[in-house]
Structure 1
Amino acid sequence: MKTISLEQIKAVVPSIDLISDIEEGFVAYSLGQANVPPVGELILEKGEVHIKYGCLINDEYYVIKIASGFYDNPTIGLPSGNGLMVLFRQDTGQLVCILLDEGHLTDIRTAVAGAIAAKHLAPKNVERIGVVGTGVQARLQLSYLKDVTTCRRVLAWGRSEEPLERYRRDMEANDFAIETTRDTGEILRTCNLIVTVTPATEPLLLASELQSGTHITAVGSDTPHKQELETAILREADVVVADSIAQCLLRGEIFKAMQSGDITQDELIELGDIIAGRKTGRASDSQITVADLTGVAVQDIKIAAAVYEALA
């Protein structure tokens, strides 16, 4: 049994083609070639813990992942995310590897999924990227979008000036041209590729500001009580994509829009089906598309195995 440290993980991740690996995971999931049980969830007073686990059929491994979010932690000098991944042999149950990633691999695979959604759903000409949020995920989403779009113009939204200014400095050092705003409506009016990455429980983006030709990747809403998009945005969208339809019926933006009656299950397309060419995503640059990414265990399976094999 091998233990892999966070330092080892950070050193090897840049050398792995995670977009291709995780695309393969989404395709396998949508083709019914994955065994992914429902998410385990523990909601605490100051945070939340998610347990995701599963395997790909006929693969070598199964993975169990624990990831937590305690969003006030930065005020006491601690990261908001933590966790680990555990890799077992699928044929014997033997423990192969413990990845002490402290939540880093969850952050990375989430950002990679955002890049995959943009690759398959964003308009061809991305004029400006809108980022709703200023935390770790807001940084990683932009970093991985570099692989799928040449656009470097960004408008970032945050709740207060200090984190916005830190975000601007950090991402300008990463070759982006960053402007900031406290108005989410400005994001919708001026950006045609938007990523939302907050733990909001009330809508931040409203349908009244929605423009044709926009793609929105909603990342932050991964529980039943979170919401970043007004449900009418999904009603107005030409294409609504789920990372997992089964999971999105129980949590996230699709769950909220189903509750309000703004969409029906028949309208939903799975991301893996678009990647595989079985379903059509964006058909024109004038369409509005929304991807609801709640995080699926196949992402954890693929990234854990890739890191282990790169270091084996």
Structure 2
Amino acid sequence: MRTLLPPAEALDVVREAMIAQARGKVSKPAPWHLEVPAADASVHGEVHVKGGYVHDASHYTVKLATGFFGNRELGIPVSSGLSVIADATTGFPTVIVLDNGYLTDVRTGAAGALAAQVLSRIDSHRVALIGPGHQADYQLRALLQVRNPRELVVHGRDRARAKAFARRAQALHSWEVQVAADSAEAVRRADIIITVTPSRAPYLHGEWIKPGAHITAVGADMEGKQELHLSALRRAAVVTADDPDQCLHIGELQHAAKAGITDTLNIEALGDVLAGRHPGRSSATEITIADLTGLGAQDAAMGARLATALMECSRSTAGTGNGAAGSVI
């Protein structure tokens, strides 16, 4: 599957999906979320179901993604999931993808990179990453396809885990990698800030952000989650959302809505910026934010591209006994 739909190709797929979303060319239900409680009533695991259909595509997709953070102590992946990809003409399932969350991971990384590509300064040299978990790796790998930073600063609550991530990140690129003691230290001089945590309490304050910085906020994708303090949103010249309405319910913007300050913010669809219908950043000193909650449109587009690639492989093996009308991968 990684060969059929590698991260570099995912950038193009996700770009087109987000543009289609902004143009109203996507049919999708609202996301479905489930929190599985632990014995002490804390959140033991998260379950997300998203899906959709990009108009005129060959297939539609329904996707299940999970995050059970205690899995790390069990020595198994935190994230998992599967996708059902179905023919948009007949409705019949064509592919069941048992991918352990790969399609979600790679499309989320691609969305973050696309936000940085159109909103961060081209001369951005210092990256701050808060939340050095599984998705953080995808964020950095995708970012390096669109920017060439010289420094990376990592912060995580578990310093040993942050140091281990930093060692792995060092091998990705010719940059200086450091581990910060806290979020403030990581953020203060950063040109690009990536937040990838399941936090329910804001930890990134507006006064820490330097002029000209860009923030990609990935963590808030359910009601109650929050990484950015309202002071950070207030400092932004533009807040782009993968889906403005969805972000007002489950993204960082849900807290702006509750505080009654959305009318004071310049909120735009990221797809409109990608399509050139909105300028995004207007000066080198503006602060920009991307609020990313994950789109059913992205899952639909990734599924359709994967199904097409599989059909091409099936045609190439026709007559060998290896072709099939449906697939499980």
Shift of 1:164: 1.1
Aligned partners of 1:265, 1:286: CA distance in 2, in Å?
19
User: Partner of 2:60 in structure 1?
Assistant: 62
Structure 2 counterparts to residues 1-312 of structure 1, below 5 A: 9-14=1-6, 17-45=9-37, 46-175=44-173, 176-264=175-263, 267-312=266-311
CA contact (8 A) 1:160 1:182 kept: no
* SS in structure 2 of the partner of residue 74 of structure 1: helix
> Cα gap change, 1:234/1:57 in structure 2, threshold over 3 Å: closer, same or farther?
same
Question: Which residue identity lines up with residue 237 of structure 1 in the other structure?
Answer: A
CA contact (8 A) 2:238 2:265 kept: no
CA contact (8 A) 1:215 1:290 kept: yes
CA contact (8 A) 1:231 1:262 kept: no
**Which blocks of at least 5 consecutive residues in structure 1 are unaligned?**
1-8
Shift of 1:59: 1.5
Aligned partners of 2:309, 2:161: CA distance in 1, in Å?
35
Aligned partners of 1:138, 1:266: CA distance in 2, in Å?
28
Question: Which residue identity lines up with residue 252 of structure 2 in the other structure?
Answer: E
> Cα gap change, 1:126/1:39 in structure 2, threshold over 3 Å: closer, same or farther?
same
* SS in structure 2 of the partner of residue 12 of structure 1: coil
1:81-104 residue CA offsets vs partner (Å, 9 max, x unmatched): 111011111111011101111111
C-alpha RMSD over aligned residues = 1.4
Question: Which residue identity lines up with residue 262 of structure 1 in the other structure?
Answer: I
**Which blocks of at least 5 consecutive residues in structure 2 are unaligned?**
38-43, 312-329
Aligned partners of 2:164, 2:75: CA distance in 1, in Å?
16
1:33-64 residue CA offsets vs partner (Å, 9 max, x unmatched): 10011001111111111110110112111100
CA contact (8 A) 1:157 1:183 kept: yes
Query: TM-score, structure 2 length as denominator?
Result: 0.89
Aligned partners of 1:105, 1:80: CA distance in 2, in Å?
15
1:65-91 residue CA offsets vs partner (Å, 9 max, x unmatched): 000111121011121111101111111
Question: How many residues end up aligned between the 2 structures?
Answer: 304
CA contact (8 A) 1:232 1:257 kept: no
> Cα gap change, 1:152/1:10 in structure 2, threshold over 3 Å: closer, same or farther?
farther
Shift of 1:160: 2.1
Aligned partners of 1:42, 1:188: CA distance in 2, in Å?
32
Could you say which structure has the larger radius of gyration? 2
Query: TM-score, structure 1 length as denominator?
Result: 0.94
Aligned partners of 2:209, 2:261: CA distance in 1, in Å?
16
CA contact (8 A) 1:121 1:289 kept: yes
Aligned partners of 2:50, 2:63: CA distance in 1, in Å?
5
